[in-house]
Every structure is written in structure tokens, then in C-alpha cells.
Amino acid sequence: MKTWLILLMTPFLLIGGFSYPSSGGEKKEGEKQKASVWMKVKTEYSRNILAGLTEADFDKIAENAKALNVTNFLEILFRAKRPEYKQQISLFAAANQELIRQAKAKNLYGATLAFNQLTISCVQCHEIVRDAKK
């Protein structure tokens, strides 16, 4: 039940992030706010996954990784324009799927490795985004 609630709430949280008004010189601030909404949601799920890993709570790990899948899908719809970014989203999705698989298998070390791969994909993606802004 809790998983379905998270999955149903995620789109509303994310779509709400696209309603910030911006015009002219405020455009960059509006874009920053949109990105901030994406990152707040993804960071919260990631924190919950880390907590699940430290507690060996495989349901918590899988539940939050599944919520990340929904977030990732929505982000692809709204933000995936650059080929390098699309590639990182694919790597993120693959690592996240492995995280879900390892959580279902109740393999703590496999889930931890998958979470590390997920984190690496986040760092690489943010590097691409920062380089694109230069």
C-alpha cells in the first residue's frame, strides 16, 4: 500500500515543480527551482535507500528504488535532450533496476554495490550538466 502511495504521489510532486512562474531574467531562477524539485525528490529516495541498506530493510530499499524509477521516467519525458544526458539516465536506470533485483533477492552486498553504481551515475550526470552550463 505504501509503495503505491509513493508511486502515485511522485508525479504530482514532480509536475508541481513545473508550475513555477518565470519570465525574462527570472528564467534561470525558475529553471533552478525546477531542477531543485527533481533533486529534492531523488535525494530523499536515495537517503531512504541508504537507510534501508544500513538497516538491511530490503522492503525499504526496493520501495524507494521503485519510486526512483518513476521519477527517472518522468525526468526523461521532461528533461532528456542531450545525448550524454540520455546515456547517463540509461546507466541510472540500469543500476536502479539492479538495486531492485538485489533487494528482492535480499542480497545486502549486491544491493550496496548497485547503490554505489547508482551514485556514480548521479555524479557523472551532474558533471555533464555543469559542463553544459559553461
Single-letter code of the amino acid located at 14 = L
Cβ atoms of residues 98 and 114 within 8 Å: yes
- Each residue's pLDDT, cut to its tens digit, for the chain (134 residues) gives 454 444 444 444 444 443 333 333 444 555 555 566 878 899 999 999 999 999 999 999 999 999 998 887 776 666 667 777 778 888 999 999 999 999 999 999 999 999 999 999 989 888 887 787 77
Domain ranges of the chain: 2-133
Q: Give the global pTM.
A: 0.71
- Residue whose C-alpha cell is 537517503: 47
DSSP 8-state secondary structure symbol assigned to residue 82? S
In angstroms, the CA 131 to CA 11 distance is 28
3-state secondary structure of 20: coil
CATH architecture of 2-133: Up-down Bundle (1.20)
